[in-house]
């Protein structure tokens, strides 16, 4: 079993409140969860209006599958930006479970 972990950092430059940030992230998180069947949550910078860090995880028995999944998710974030900008992303695959 392999566990993949992806961290995505976003900028929300037009956002001016935590309520606005929650609305944007809630929609993005739900769409991502439904489209890719992954676990996803805001994991850092919860009190900063214009920045967000999302953590995504998935389990598979193939590393290539996880690599492909995370590539698709990053592409999805890049193609669907509007209220946010993708600042950075990284992922890793953990083995030995």
Query: Can you tell me the distance from the alpha carbon of 95 to that of 97, in angstroms, rounded to the nearest whole number?
Result: 6
pLDDT of residue 96: 74
Asked if residue 53 lies in contact with residue 42, where contact means CB atoms within 8 angstroms, the answer is: yes
pTM of the model: 0.89
Q: Are 56 and 6 in contact, with CB atoms under 8 Å apart?
A: yes
User: Which of 95, 83, 97 has the alpha carbon at shortest distance from 10?
Assistant: 83
Tell me the average pLDDT of the chain: 92
Structural domain 2-94, CATH architecture: 2-Layer Sandwich (3.30)
Residue 93 in this model has a pLDDT that exceeds 70? yes
Strand, coil or helix: 91: strand
Q: What is the pLDDT of residues 20-46, one digit of tens each?
A: 999 999 999 999 999 999 999 999 988
Cβ neighbours, 10 Å, residue 95: 8
């Amino acid at each position: 079993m392999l566990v993949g972990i992806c961290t995505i950092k976003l900028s929300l430059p037009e956002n001016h409140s935590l309520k606005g940030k929650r609305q944007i992230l809630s929609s993005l998180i739900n769409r991502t969860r439904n489209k890719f069947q992954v676990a996803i949550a805001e994991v850092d910078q919860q009190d900063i209006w214009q920045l967000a860090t999302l953590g995504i995880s998935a389990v598979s028995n193939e590393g290539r599958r996880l690599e492909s999944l995370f590539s698709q998710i990053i592409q999805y974030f890049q193609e669907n930006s509007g209220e946010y900008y993708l600042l950075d992303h990284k992922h890793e695959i953990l083995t030995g479970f």
